[in-house]
């Protein structure tokens, strides 16, 4: 009978010393991180009903970032009216249905770029419900 040799026998040897890698300096300067919550301009919104203009239906939103979507403002207006309105159109400085904001865009894309106070006007159609008639 033939004796089989050991598989994978232990070898004693010298331990390898790893070299510390030296890195080249970066080719480009990385800009310093700026927190978007701090850097983004914020506006104070005064949202008024277009017709009839009165102080009862005026909504004031403070410190709103310009990256806020118009849909958020539409939801705030609808909640002020307790959900009884639809087809809300929002315009800046004066009401013109042809210049209404797109609800999928941000305030920044609609032209609100500077800090300060911004006046928005809105109009709506009341929800028709047979129980209200």
Q: What is the pLDDT of residues 41-97, one digit of tens each?
A: 999 999 999 988 888 889 999 999 999 999 999 999 999 988 888 899 999 999 999
The token pair that represents 52 in the structure block:
């009839």
pLDDT of 132: 55
Q: Domains (ranges, CATH) in the chain? A: 41-126 (3.10.20.90)
pLDDT of 70: 95
Beta bridge partners of 48: 121
Digit-coded pLDDT (tens) for 24-41: 787 888 889 888 888 899
pLDDT of 63: 93
* Distance (Å, whole) CA 27 – CA 7: 50
Q: Could you tell me which residue, 15 or 133, shows the higher pLDDT?
A: 15
Confidence of residue 105 (pLDDT cuts 50, 70, 90): very high
Region class of 55: left (phi > 0), else alpha (psi between -120 and 50), else beta: alpha
Residue 127 has pLDDT above 70, yes or no: yes
């Amino acid at each position: 009978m033939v004796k089989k040799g050991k598989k994978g026998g232990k070898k004693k040897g010298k331990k390898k010393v790893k070299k510390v890698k030296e890195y080249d300096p970066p080719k480009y300067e990385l800009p310093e991180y700026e927190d978007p919550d701090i850097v983004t301009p914020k506006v104070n919104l005064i949202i008024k009903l277009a017709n009839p203009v009165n102080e009862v239906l005026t909504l004031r939103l403070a410190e709103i970032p310009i990256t806020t979507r118009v849909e958020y403002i539409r939801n705030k207006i609808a909640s002020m009216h307790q959900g009884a309105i639809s087809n809300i159109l929002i315009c800046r400085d004066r009401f013109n249905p042809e210049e209404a904001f797109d609800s999928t865009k941000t305030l920044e894309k609609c032209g609100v770029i500077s800090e300060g106070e911004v006046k928005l006007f809105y109009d709506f159609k009341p929800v028709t419900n047979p129980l209200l008639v």
